[in-house]
Amino acid sequence: MNKIYPYILIIALSSCSGFDYFQAAPLVKNYLMGYKDIDISDEFYDQQEYSFAKIKIGRSSPVILSLAFIEDGIYEWISADEERIYTLNGKIIRTVGLDHNLNFLTGKSLPEFNLLPITQSRLAELTNPSAMITQTAQIYADHYLGIIYEEVITSSFDWSYTNTYELDQNLGMVKKSTQKIHPYLSELNIEFFYKF
């Protein structure tokens, strides 16, 4: 059954008079393999005026977001396309401008590393589709590796996931994370690059 799909695709594409086959190959490759990563070299880092984050959603092309503001410990990161991600202790607590957005109303912050393990209840608002959800998170740490694990179960529907936060032991801040923030959005892989 699966062997007929390439033929259907070829027939469908051949009916498009403006279709350029040379443009299709990179699109198919990027879809199957993912986009090329952005190398954060020392030179690239030095050229940046502010702290920044490299974010990749699923297999998409990575994007650089610059730190715009810090208010009450909440970091606002902004992309060239005006997408905004707000983090608190490295955890995404709100997004604006994505296809599917999140806003945590309670249970926003990751607890301090030395206070783990804990159980946390939270309330969140999702958009596209709009929903208010309640979640329970089991948060614990691997003290040897410096990683925080956040196992989340959603009460209102079947959606569970595990986020990870890798700490920079010298700074005591999250330097890398993998976070799931919306059931219709692929996981976000984030690297934080701080400039003080």
Q: Is 84 exposed, middle or buried (0-12, 13-18, 19+ CB in 10 A)?
A: middle
Any domain includes 151: yes
Any domain includes 134: yes
Q: What CATH number is given to the structural domain containing 115?
A: 2.40.360.10
Query: Domain total for the chain?
Result: 1
Any domain includes 28: no
- Distance between CA atoms of residues 182 and 191, nearest Å: 19
Domain with 54, as residue range(s), is 42-193
Any domain includes 6: no
Any domain includes 146: yes
Any domain includes 7: no
Which amino acid is present at 140?
A: Y
pLDDT tens column, 32-49: 445 567 888 999 999 999
H helix intervals, 35-140: 42-47
Question: How high is the pLDDT of residue 36?
Answer: 67
pTM score of the predicted model = 0.81
Model confidence at 115, in pLDDT bands (50, 70, 90)? confident
pLDDT tens column, 66-101: 999 999 999 999 999 999 999 999 999 999 999 999
Any domain includes 51: yes
